[in-house]
Structure 1
């Protein structure tokens, strides 16, 4: 007879139970979809979106986080879906102190409390995959102990199957996007987010890549108090980005410039991006003089040639060079391209690249209402892809697009007015695939990621 306390058995039973629960939730959404397909009616997409959002809201955990993730890519979901999924909150109730003690003992041993001068019993922050505790080391350093919830690996694996079902429904509903590669990309990144040893290395990588930007601060990991499911790092204090929405224009512009370098410097010099530019992952320090960058679970390391494609497409858009744009999409991995399909892709590219093509001081939206920003282009792209597509999204494109939209959202909230073109050109000084490859290789080796 199997031991009911066996952790492998518990993980398997947890996965089965979760699959059944989430599957039941999604089956209700599936029935709604089937009914709408048969009977039609007004506001069909809106009803389906509400049903699916309700199903995901009941499931909690990683799948809900993925739903939020895909909702940030305007060209993937119809507006009804994006609006409903954006309402989901990737929050989870914090584990109680008895549970925390057991989990910390499993990670650091029975004497774990003696390794801290103090350790907060209440979670300072709780999210979808884990929670953070405020603690102090014996040398006086204040630290954040990020502890992963139990059974997250089982939850992620069962949720991945449900994600395939979810995006399969999107494909049937819309038909303009082939999301197969997108599923694989999100799957890989979600699994990586559970590997706290890798996240610690990402933190080291970012501290190195941004070391010449003194206005950016990344936490410092405490490696001897970190494991595959626990990261201990220096505690960073700062104000929320949204606290500066009404700050003087000059302050908001300064914050926007710092955000630009936080994201684009690693991208154009090392082919690395922070794939989760959520507003909560930035803090502002010194009243607008510095930025804290937080949470390194979702980091995408690209082949250097991919960044060359990003730069080539920028230059193609800048000079209205169709052939160069075609070659850039090929370099990115878009398949079965045709002239018509490239023309459709260019609609979205001109929107994404618009601020950095325009050599003048401007806002990101440039006169368009923030709530409407990108919707017209996304709708037009989807309609054209229904005629010319579908387009198969290459996996490298997924987080590039998502991160660009997330960064743009921060600029919109700040109402920043800067010359994005000149900043981007400055970020390309000395750019070549060979230089990026050499820098990336050295940085990954230093962080233990090679």
Structure 2
């Protein structure tokens, strides 16, 4: 494979093969159903075969197809075990592995971005990528001072491939819903498309990463590589060794899982207070456990700028919700724009809908696991229940989009880890307004920052 969109027709054809495949499986399932096979078994078989083809196609592509697969992998814990188990390894692979571009293309990009003498700064450059993901791949090299560095190189044509793939996936949203009922694909694709420009500019990513690196420099628990050099398409940072978080999820001891979960929450919630930034792409491929036991954090292509930290309304509303004052939570969410003025919502139904976000903060310690995640997901997506009806009435203000992404995505990763830890203490430490004995009146609507690539 050379440049990413070398054959855009072939890329589109691969994605377009998905609905044809599911149509055939649906017809086959109907035949089995008419032949007397139970409906539940037919549905399960159709879902399994659809998942098989879906993951195969996503795994063969980069661009928006893989970006979508990465976002999907966060919610693997919500899938029924009989469906998720056979494809867990494939979902994990989507997080940090894609077909690499050839060395001659890599060298061409480096020459265009860094000049013909790029090897003077990047010594012992390894042509074999250490990781290959949605819009770029990473190579190991040596900096001029002998330090090992990671060289992140953007695929030529990444922007076109991202937009093309996401447009096609948006048109195939019904297919994904058939595979996983209750999964809202269109909002997910819309958010990915909205962030394309941010993630494509490595200069913005370098700015964000160095902001984190300075804030966490010397931290005994969190490791953020410093930036050495950057252009809009090449990013050189210190190399970070470690065990991928996906390996901890798959094979880690309970102690290792608990520790990783606690450090993940600590990093995500402390970032706004310490760096004025929120890492907004919390899928397992972006995290490592370093040899000295720290949480290593990679990929700063998507962050939110929160110079004043988390908006205190989040902590205050969470505290009020834990106190059982559902009417006041309703009032506060309406003031923040989550409920539009003309929409009527029952306060108790809202309280039930918010349980996945509030329950982990109710006790000093909490255990996340796949069973809990599946139960919550089924509850809020069951169209016959009040929670699903409530979900249709809620609005997500743009200023909270990335915060919501981190909160829900973080829960998905913690459920994959099966982590148990004193998460409430992290909220008390880092979430403004959560510890507030006087409970002052909720302030007027706030602005919670903006995205920064």
Q: TM-score range by the shorter chain?
A: 0.7 to 0.9
Per the alignment, residue 72 of structure 2 pairs with 70
Structure 2 length-normalised TM: 0.76
SS at match of 2:15: helix
Q: Which residue of 2 aligns with 1:3?
A: none
Q: CA RMSD in A?
A: 4.2
1:144/1:212 CA distance change after superposition, 3 Å: closer
- 2:22 is the counterpart of 1:29: yes
Structure 1 pair 214–265 and aligned structure 2 pair: CA distance change class (3 A): same
Q: Provide the rounded CA distance (Å) in 1 between the counterparts of 2:314 and 2:426.
A: 16
Q: State the distance in 1 between where 2:352 and 2:114 align.
A: 53
Q: Does 1:322 align with 2:321?
A: no
Deviation string, structure 1 residues 360-400 (Cα, Å, up to 9, x no partner): 2x3423xxxx3312211221211125556634662666654
Higher mean displacement: 167-176 or 253-262? 167-176
Secondary structure of the 1:201 match is helix
- Give the one of 259, 262, 265 matched to 1:260: 265
Larger deviation, residues 258-267 vs 66-75: 66-75
Shift of 1:124: 1.9
CA distance in 2, matches of 1:303, 1:44: 49
Give the TM-score normalised by structure 1: 0.76
- What is the CA–CA distance in structure 1 between the aligned matches of 2:78 and 2:252, rounded to whole Å? 32
Query: Which residue of 310, 313, 316 corresponds with 2:317?
Result: 313
Q: How does 1:399-418 map to 2 (within 5 A)?
A: 399-408=402-411, 411=414, 416-418=419-421
Which residue of 1 is the match for residue 295 of structure 2?
291
Q: Which one of the candidate residues 363, 367, 380 is aligned to 1:364?
A: 367
Shift of 1:160: 1.4
Deviates most, 114-123 or 150-159: 114-123
| 2: CA distance, partners of 1:418 / 1:371 | 16
Moved more, 269-278 or 165-174: 165-174
Which deviates more from structure 2 when the two are superposed, residues 86-95 or residues 69-78? 69-78
- Report how far residue 286 of structure 1 moved: 5.5
Determine if contact 1:147/1:231 at 8 Å carries over to the other structure.
yes
Aligned to 2:427: 424
1:44 aligns with: 43
Q: Alpha carbons of 1:100 and 1:388: their partners in 2 closer, same or farther (altered >3 Å)?
A: closer
What is the aligned counterpart of 1:164 among 164, 170, 195? 170
Distance 1:140 1:180 in 2: 47
SS of 2:315's equivalent?
Answer: helix
Between the aligned partners of 1:309 and 1:254, the Cα distance in structure 2 is 29
Partner in structure 2 of residue 231 of structure 1: 235
Unaligned residue ranges in structure 2 (runs of 5+): 34-38, 437-441
CA distance in 2, matches of 1:222, 1:349: 43
Using the alignment, how far apart are the partners of 1:152 and 1:209 within structure 2? 31
Distance change >3 Å, CA 438–CA 66, structure 1 → 2: closer
Q: What's the CA shift string for 1:261-284, capped at 9, x where partnerless?
A: 211012467774322223332223
Q: Which runs of 5+ in 1 are unaligned?
A: 1-6
Asked whether the 8 Å contact 1:312–1:324 carries over to 2, the reply is no
User: Structure 2: how far apart are the matches of 1:80 and 1:69?
Assistant: 21
- The Cα shift of 1:302 comes to 6.5
Q: Does 1:95 align with 2:101?
A: yes
Structure 1 residues 174 and 389, CA, compared in 2 at 3 Å: closer, same or farther? farther
Tell me if structure 1 keeps the 8 A contact 2:339–2:395.
Answer: yes
Q: What's the CA shift for 1:54? A: 0.8
TM-fit CA distance, 1:173 = 8.8
| Equivalent-residue separation in structure 2 for 1:316 and 1:378 (angstroms) | 23
Query: How many aligned positions are there?
Result: 423
Say if 1:73 and 1:401, in contact at 8 Å, map to a contact too: no
